[in-house]
Amino acid sequence: MRPWGVRLQIAHVRFTVNHMVHYQARLDATFAALSDVTRRGVLEQLGGSDASITDLAQRFHMTLTGMKKHVSILEQAGLVSTEKVGRVRTCKLGPRELEEAAAWIEQHRQLWSARFDALDELVEHLKRKEKADAQRKRR
């Protein structure tokens, strides 16, 4: 019990998450890849249709070398795959896409939601107690 008579209860949401190092490394690579506005833009473009590195470089007003670096980072994170046919390297969304990152975000969203719900309950309880105390003082 808390000193003010309120007991906070947070429903713990349990998730089975592979905490092995390779899971963390993949998640780190995904968030690092998503940290750049150009790479997020590339993913949006590829969500509509596949594109060559040359096309992407033109759309983002970049050099081929700069775009190749961005695509390489996205490819290492598993967010993009490339295929070279002749002289053209075509990019498309990768096989892994964003499932792991989305699951991680959802896990933490639920945790924070539960914490905010508990805080809301505490605030409401304190408001009711304050109101009751004020009414007792008037008597």
- How many whole angstroms separate alpha carbon 138 and alpha carbon 133? 9
28 and 46 co-located in one domain = yes
Give me the number of domains the chain comprises: 2
Indicate the pTM of the whole model.
0.64
Q: What pLDDT score was predicted for residue 2? A: 47
Report yes or no on 12 lying in a domain. Answer: no
Cβ atoms within 10 Å, residue 78: 17
Residues 42 and 79 in one domain: yes
| Predicted local distance difference test score (pLDDT) of residue 16 | 53
Residues 33 and 51 both lie in one domain: yes
Evaluate whether residue 2 is within a structural domain: no
Residues 53, 120, single domain; the answer is no
- Its domain, for residue 47, covers 18-97
Instruction: Tell how strand 80-85 and strand 88-93 pair up.
Output: antiparallel
Going by C-alpha positions, the residue among 75, 90, 95 that lies closest to residue 30 is 75
Give the residues of the chain that fall short of pLDDT 50. 1-2, 18-19
Give the whole-angstrom CA distance, residue 102 versus residue 117.
22
